[in-house]
Amino acid sequence: MKEKNIHVLYLDVKDVASIDTALAQIDKNSHKLDVLVNNAGYAQFGSIEDVPVEKARQQFETNVFGLTETTRKVIPLMRENGQGRIINVASIAGKVSMPGGAWYAATKFAVEAISDSLRWELKQFNIKVSIIEPGPISSNFGNTANQKAEFINKDSHYKSFYNLILNFGNLSKIGGTTEDVAKAIWKAANKKQPKIRYKVTFAAKALAVLINILPTKLMDYFVIKYFSRER
């Protein structure tokens, strides 16, 4: 992709050495780091009882600690430049959890909280922080989530919820596209005054409204009814 002036570097957010190597390569080429997009992440679905704690830890290592470690390494470079943009891809699941989605939602709740603190802490250095909340997106995300949940016993006590969870790849096909997410990221990176949060799909926008207006018990009723229905 050199003809388009795009240079791809290897970086594993769970490997501090690879983060350092990538940043050193950027510095070696005399490039200024203006924008960091934290998009690495996956979903570990399954009930709290069914998901081993080690798999939960792995979820946090990628979705939360990998994101924060990369960000920590980048902040000094942006501060030296006197400006920067940090764009964290969270999820509408960072606002509301769902049956079988606790661990994934927990990581995205964490990303929301970390992003808010970063925004306040970094304002003094002219580093802006935005959050992307995509909603259902047609991509390989759902298929990866299904693979990560293959260990789940189909006869689990929570099988009534797994009918949807284990077919999440099909659900994501009714949402937005990766191009929609890319456009939101572009706006967050280039607008003079970017939004704090970008909700990408109609589903994300609608769910955010419902969370704010529905009483919790009524929300519970609709969530349980929706997730446990036959498909």
Average pLDDT over residues 18-30: 90
Domain ranges of the chain: 32-227
* pLDDT over 70 at 199, yes or no: yes
Say what percent of the chain tops pLDDT 90.
53
* pLDDT over 60 at 58, yes or no: yes
> What is the reported pLDDT for 98?
85
Average pLDDT over residues 38-48: 91
> Predicted confidence band at 1 (pLDDT cuts at 50, 70, 90)?
low
Is residue 104 part of the annotated active site? The answer reads: yes
Q: Which CATH class is domain 32-227?
A: alpha beta
The 10s digit of each residue's pLDDT in 140-185 is 776 777 777 777 777 778 777 777 666 665 555 567 888 999 999 9
The DSSP annotation for the chain comes to -GGGT-------TT-HHHHHHHHHHHHHTT----EEEE-------S-TTTS-HHHHHHHHIIIIIIHHHHHHHHHHHHHHHT-EEEEEE--GGGT---TT-HHHHHHHHHHHHHHHHHHHHHGGGTEEEEEEE--SEESSHHHHHHHHTTTS-TT-TTHHHHHHHTTHHHHHTTSEEHHHHHHHHHHHHH-SS--SEEE-SHHHHHHHHHHHHS-HHHHHHHHHHHHTS--
Q: Which of 42, 104, 158, 198 is catalytic?
A: 104
**Which of 26-35, 107-116, 198-207 has the highest average model confidence (pLDDT)?**
107-116
Average pLDDT over residues 91-114: 92
